[in-house]
Amino acid sequence: VLKAVLAALIGYLLGSANTSLIVGKFYGVDVRKHGSGNAGMTNTLRTLGKLPALLVIVGDMLKGILACIIGYYIFRIGLDLSELNYAVDINRVGLFAGGLGAILGHNWPLYFGFRGGKGVLTTFAVVLLAGPYQGLILLGIFLVVVALTRYVSLGSIMAALCFPFLAAFMEKDILFTSFATFVALLVVIRHRSNIVRLCKGTENKFGAKKE
């Protein structure tokens, strides 16, 4: 348990490095004061343009991947192979703990007044490592929804909602399914304001410039 907490803590410190806010500092712009007010890739694209948004994709995904890898190895330190005979794949506990820490750090960053993003890219990076097939299917769902509706938020919400079901059907590992359910709920909860705007028909469409 201690090792999982340590993995999550390191993940949190890494995840707190919210790339949209770091990139924004170079441009002298706090993206939280523009567009949707969210510290994420979509709002960076909306506010600052393509190159900064690309940097956010790379940064927010890399920190998720790094947190998972560090968590994985921390958890394995001193782990006896005979201990690996559990109903759940205990091998991935560190990976999940590190990844979850990074997502929480991204959403509530220590270095930026706890006001961060919605964790979509960081969650996606963690999912790609934990279950690459599920990750690619979710990416497909996201892209199809965005292509059809032009709502990035709806794509994120739909992909998040599908994740626990994919995990349950494809992995049959209670730990993975619990993790999937928790991170999916986090994504949906962080999209509360988007859900209100979607219902009112006032949500920002992808590609439409605002402010």
For residue 53, the minimal CB distance to ligand G3P (Å) is 11
Is the Cβ–Cβ distance between 84 and 91 less than 8 Å?
A: yes
Nearest 5 degrees, angle CA 154-CA 157-CA 159? 105
Q: Which of 42, 47, 122, 123 binds ligand G3P (CB under 6 A)?
A: 42
* Residue 201 neighbours by CB distance under 10 Å: 6
- Only one of the segments 34-42, 50-58, 59-67, 98-106 lies at the binding site for ligand G3P (rule: CB under 6 A); that segment is 34-42
Closer residue to ligand G3P, CB minimum distance, 153 or 177:
153
Asked if 204 interacts with ligand G3P (CB under 6 A), we say yes
Joined together, the tokens standing for residue 54 give 């690309």
For residue 43, the minimal CB distance to ligand G3P (Å) is 4
For residue 169, the minimal CB distance to ligand G3P (Å) is 24
Q: Which of 15, 24, 40, 59 binds ligand G3P (CB under 6 A)?
A: 40
Site for ligand G3P in 171-200 (CB under 6 A): 194
For residue 156, the minimal CB distance to ligand G3P (Å) is 4
Closer residue to ligand G3P, CB minimum distance, 40 or 164:
40
Helices 152-170 and 174-190 pack at an angle, to 10 degrees, of 170
171 φ, ψ (degrees, to nearest 5): -105, -35
Helices 2-15 and 93-107 pack at an angle, to 10 degrees, of 40
> Helical H runs in the chain?
2-15, 19-27, 41-47, 50-76, 93-107, 120-130, 132-149, 152-170, 174-190, 192-200
* Residue 197 neighbours by CB distance under 10 Å: 16
- Only one of the segments 6-14, 16-24, 54-62, 151-159 lies at the binding site for ligand G3P (rule: CB under 6 A); that segment is 151-159
Asked if 146 interacts with ligand G3P (CB under 6 A), we say no
- What residue ranges bind ligand G3P (CB under 6 A)? 35-36, 38, 40-43, 118, 120, 152-153, 156, 194, 204
